[in-house]
Chain A
Amino acid sequence: MDKLKTKSIKDNLSEMKFFEGIEDDMIEYISQCGINRHFNRGQYLGKEGDSADHFYIIRKGRIGLQLHHHDKGTIMLKTIHPGEIAGVSWIVPPYRYNFDLIALEETSVIEFDGKCIRDKCEKDHSLGYLLLRKFTGMLSERLKNTRIQLLDVYH
């Protein structure tokens, strides 16, 4: 744990696949908007309807993307694992969480301030383009996965 603590946020981000191909100084620049956080099991990282002020990169643990249904109860839509992003609503208006984000176990994340990143992107469009490209790739992957999930392929 000591070792983890000594690592800067920038160091942590550089090791992540999501930031592959993004130059060091840009990562450094983004990392100014991030802080290390820890969530206990059952703790919410975001709730449906709330203002989407943050997004998270998971370092350790697991986050669930959930929706509550009056009859079916709480439905788990997707689990999000280390190295992956939780929360995408910060990127476009109306900046509102559509689902609940909940820590399924002891979870360490880097929490980003959405507005802080947005402001940086407005100032530096090449950063904005790079980040948007990364997020579009991830969103497209999730859309594809959701479609396959809906197919109910297994029998």
Chain B
Amino acid sequence: MYTIETKEKNFKTLKNPWIPIIYRVKEKFQENELNITFILEPDSDKCIPEMKPGQFNMLYAFGLGEIPISVSSLEYEHPYLCHTIQGVGAISNYCYKLKIGDRIGVRGPFGTSWPVDMAEGKDVIIIAGGVGLAPLRPLIEILGNERFKYKRVNVLYGSRDPHSILFHTDVISWQSDPLINFQVTVDHCQKGWRGNVGVVTSLLNLASFNPAETVAYLCGPEVMMRFSAYALLDAGIDPSNIYLSMERNMKCAIGQCGHCQWGSNFVCKDGAVFNYRQIQKELSIKEL
């Protein structure tokens, strides 16, 4: 747990949902070649409200624009923020290059969160694909912190290749945690990789759960989530016990710009976390 000297400070939140609040880069960790994790701290007495697991913020890069980024850890006490960024576009590359002390704008928190309480007294399956592990990490942290509330906890993580694996320290500690069944697999591997090779759904054979009493949380590329959901349904898990986090073009994040529409849903506010039953139809329609 991260403690801050400014904890007693009275932080204010803003009313105009368009105005970013300024944060400073407090710390950064290089995850791998493409990904960086940042700890941000408020630059003034203003901050965004406390975040829930699965929610996202709009990060503003000066003069360039905004990108939606999920909270990637809640182990840093509010009002600190933890975000993991993949440097792939103009804005994310700007963020990727931020140095300690640099400022960025933050709007949020937006969207629905992982319904953690649904898993109380039940087995849990978390299926993460690629950078989809980032939005799921706060959930894994919560499950770990209150481990007694849940039965068996399975985390299945699929990555493109060994180099793309995120959160190495966490992955190692989860793998050695006797209370979590953490399995990782890669689609393609280089020499020296001694772990599993194959798609993430093939890890389901290694998970232990009672299908009638299991809640599943999915985040990753849409194709991966669709096939993971089929595999979970085939294993006997009820569709209403499957949750997944969708990605669409979030621009305003407040359901007013229209960009993230997916059928009747505004992914930014009705999601990004959806119940599978709620969006089964949408998932089956191409180019929706």
Partners in one complex: yes
A interface residues with partner B (beta carbon < 8 Å): 17, 62, 64, 73-79, 81-84, 104, 144-145, 148-149, 151-155
B interface residues with partner A (beta carbon < 8 Å): 86, 88, 129-131, 158-160, 164, 185, 187-189, 191, 193-199, 201-202, 205-206, 220-221, 223-224, 227
Query: Cα distance A76–B189 when bound, in Å?
Result: 7
CB atoms of A153 and B224 under 8 A apart? yes
Chain B interface, >50% SS class: mixed
A-B contact pairs, 16 of them (CB 8 A): A62-B196, A64-B197, A73-B191, A74-B191, A79-B198, A81-B206, A83-B205, A145-B199, A151-B223, A152-B187, A152-B188, A153-B187, A154-B160, A154-B164, A154-B221, A154-B224
Give B160 Cβ to nearest chain A Cβ, in Å: 4
Sorted nearest first, the 5 A-B pairs with minimum C-beta distance are: A154-B130, A154-B160, A153-B221, A79-B196, A76-B197
CB atoms of A155 and B88 under 8 A apart? yes
Give B285 Cβ to nearest chain A Cβ, in Å: 19
Q: Which residues of B contact A76 (CB under 8 A)?
A: 189, 193, 197
CB atoms of B193 and A154 under 8 A apart? no
Q: Which residue of A lies closest to B222 (CB)?
A: A153
Chain A interface, >50% SS class: mixed
Query: Cα distance A105–B34 when bound, in Å?
Result: 32
CB atoms of A149 and B205 under 8 A apart? no
Give A152 Cβ to nearest chain B Cβ, in Å: 7
Give A137 Cβ to nearest chain B Cβ, in Å: 11
CB atoms of B131 and A84 under 8 A apart? no
CB atoms of A154 and B205 under 8 A apart? no
Q: Which residue of B lies closest to A17 (CB)?
A: B205
Given contacts A81-B205, A81-B206, contact A155 B130 (CB under 8 A): yes
Q: Which residues of A contact B129 (CB under 8 A)?
A: 153-154
Q: Which residues of B contact A152 (CB under 8 A)?
A: 160, 187-188
Query: Cα distance A151–B202 when bound, in Å?
Result: 16
Q: Which residues of A contact B189 (CB under 8 A)?
A: 75-76
Q: Which residues of A contact B131 (CB under 8 A)?
A: 154-155
Q: Which residue of A lies closest to B192 (CB)?
A: A73
Query: Cα distance A83–B204 when bound, in Å?
Result: 12
Which of A83, A145, A148 counts the most B-chain CB atoms under 10 A from its CB?
Answer: A148
Q: Which residues of A contact B223 (CB under 8 A)?
A: 148, 151, 153
Q: Which residues of B contact A17 (CB under 8 A)?
A: 205
Query: Cα distance A104–B224 when bound, in Å?
Result: 27
Give A72 Cβ to nearest chain B Cβ, in Å: 8
Query: Cα distance A145–B228 when bound, in Å?
Result: 11
Q: Which residue of B lies closest to A146 (CB)?
A: B199
Q: Which residue of B lies closest to A76 (CB)?
A: B197
Q: Which residues of B contact A83 (CB under 8 A)?
A: 205
- 17 further A-B contacts with Cβ under 8 Å, apart from A148-B224, A153-B220, A155-B221, are A64-B197, A77-B197, A79-B185, A79-B198, A82-B205, A145-B199, A145-B201, A148-B223, A149-B199, A151-B223, A153-B187, A154-B130, A154-B158, A154-B159, A154-B220, A155-B86, A155-B160
Query: Cα distance A138–B277 when bound, in Å?
Result: 28
Q: Which residues of B contact A73 (CB under 8 A)?
A: 191
Query: Cα distance A103–B129 when bound, in Å?
Result: 27
Set B160, B191, B197, B220: member contacting A78, Cβ < 8 A: B197
Q: Which residue of B lies closest to A149 (CB)?
A: B187
Q: Which residue of A lies closest to B130 (CB)?
A: A154
Q: Which residues of B contact A151 (CB under 8 A)?
A: 223
Q: Which residue of B lies closest to A83 (CB)?
A: B205
Q: Which residues of A contact B86 (CB under 8 A)?
A: 155
Q: Which residues of A contact B196 (CB under 8 A)?
A: 62, 79, 81
CB atoms of B194 and A149 under 8 A apart? no
